[in-house]
Structure 1
Amino acid sequence: MDMPVNVPVDDPNADTEWNDILRKHGIIPEKQPDPEPIIQEALLEAVKKAHENRLEDKDLDELHDLEDEEDEAFLEIYRRKRLAELASLQKKSLYGQVFPLQKPDYARDVTEESSKAYVLVNLTSSLGTNVESRVLSNIWRQAARKFGDIKFCEMRADLCIEGYPEKNTPTILVYKDGDIKRQVVTLAQLSGVRTSLEDLERLLVEVGALTENDMRLKGKEDNEDEMQNDQDNDDDDDWD
């Protein structure tokens, strides 16, 4: 009967000829590869990708400003990419304004339309004295112009739902594929009376109406004039 033999091993991880023989015969396990080179390679690859994608979030104006710093051929690749994205967005921009709703047309203009695009409904104050409602109506117009591939609608809450509580206005309803995907009651879930277009944009990303890398979210647009114009136009709004 063969008796087990105790093979002396000083350090099973050492790179010695003796350990190579023991590994060959399965007496000690293969030595695990050193993780350091793998880690270093991964870090170098990450740095390389970050450098290659350094222009990924730049719009056309920002690319123009980099002409003295970047290779012209490299910039041209991103210019063409941005122009293609703009052309695609313009093709999808079917709306571009806030659509007032009438109850008899609600199913057609909202529920059925949501099979083609995201449809957002703003149920506004019935009394016209709700500050949050006025804030959202201003933002609604900005968003409708900026995101023409999304249909923004507006309707007085009590004309949409009889007896709808004034304290629940404004209410945002997000429709897609015939269903309500999100309901936001008042602006408390956003930033209250300080709610901005950026707050609404974050909501649009959350519900899937926009992607995080949508180039329109990265533009350095100045909306102050638009906001002022919307404020002036508020005086002409008539919900009667």
Structure 2
Amino acid sequence: MDMPVNVPVDNPNADTEWNDILRKHGVIPEKPPSPTPIIEEAILEAQRRAHENRLEDKDLDELDALEDEEDEEFLEQYRKKRLVELSTLQKASVFNQVYPLQKTDYAREVTEVSSHAFVLVNLTSMGGNVESRVLSEIWRQLAPKYGEVKFCEIRADMCIEGYPERNTPTILAYKDGEIRRQFVTLRELNGVRTKIEDVEKVLVDLGAIKEGDLRLRKQDEDDRGDRETNEAEDDDDDDDWD
């Protein structure tokens, strides 16, 4: 009767002639495939996609500036795509302001409208606490920027009798007749330091605006420009003291 033989193997994954013989006879398992080709293929695929999508976040002015660098037919495709996107936004941009609400109009102005658009309601403070003032200002800036979203505002105690002042402001996000998200005060955002981009992130998470929306990038560029301007002014002030 044949007895199993223990064959010494220093490193079963080593590329040696002895290991090849052992693998051939099933003594040791086949060597797992090297991950290197898979990694290299993934890198090449990522580079290919990045190259294909290199114009994805460019606006019309930026596309025009690339006329000498890109194929004209390729650029024209993106121009047409941007024009379609702009046209779609313009058609959907029907609100463009903050709508003050009355309790009697709530169902018509909020619940019914949410069947075809996102509606965000700010239940604001009776006494105008700091967070309520912060959110009201953000509402004022976001409403014309994202005209396809309806931004509404109503004093909390006029909407819900006895609503606690400490819970204001409260954000109610409606779609298809239902509350999809709510924030009681701005604690979950950034408190009194809440900025436009904090609420924009909520809009993206809700699906009210797309993650790659050019208007988001424009905001980032404006913020960077403001920071650079402020830093330059600070440098000038420092020079005055030299």
**Match of 2:55, SS?**
coil
Q: Does 1:153 align with 2:152?
A: yes
CA RMSD of aligned residues (A): 2.9
SS of the residue 1:190 aligns to = coil
Amino acid at match of 1:208: G
Report the Cα offset of residue 205 of structure 1. 1.2
Cα 1:64/1:192, change in 2 over 3 Å: farther
- TM-score of the aligned structures, taking structure 2 as reference length: 0.75
State how 1:200-219 maps to structure 2 within 5 Å.
Answer: 200-219=199-218
Residue of structure 2 equivalent to 1:91 = 91
User: How far apart are residue 2 of structure 1 and its match?
Assistant: 9.5
CA drift at 1:19: 9.5
Any stretches of 5+ residues in structure 1 without a counterpart?
A: 224-240
- The answer for unaligned runs of 5 or more in structure 2 is 224-242
Give the structure 2 partner of residue 111 of structure 1.
111
Aligned to 1:47: 47
Paired with 1:34 and 1:196, the residues of 2 have a C-alpha distance of: 48
**Quick check: 109-118 or 33-42, which moved more?**
33-42
Taking the aligned partners of 1:196 and 1:130, their CA distance within structure 2 comes to 16
Distance 2:165 2:58 in 1: 43
Residues matched between the structures, number: 221
Partner SS state of residue 173, structure 1? strand
Distance change in 2, residues 1:179/1:22 (3 Å):
same
Per-residue deviation, 1:174: 0.6
| SS of residue paired to 1:163 | coil
What CA distance in whole angstroms lies between the structure 1 residues aligned with 2:214 and 2:72? 21
Distance 2:81 2:107 in 1: 38
The equivalent of 1:233 in structure 2 is none
Residues 58 and 218, structure 1, Cα contact 8 Å, conserved in 2? no
* TM-score when normalising by structure 1: 0.76
For 2:63, the equivalent position in structure 1 comes to: 63
Q: Counting helix residues as a fraction of each chain, which structure ranks higher?
A: 2
State the percentage of identical aligned residues: 70
Deviation at 1:28, TM superposition (A): 7.6
* Deviation digits for residues 121-144 of structure 1 (CA, Å, limit 9, x no counterpart): 0111212x3222122112112211
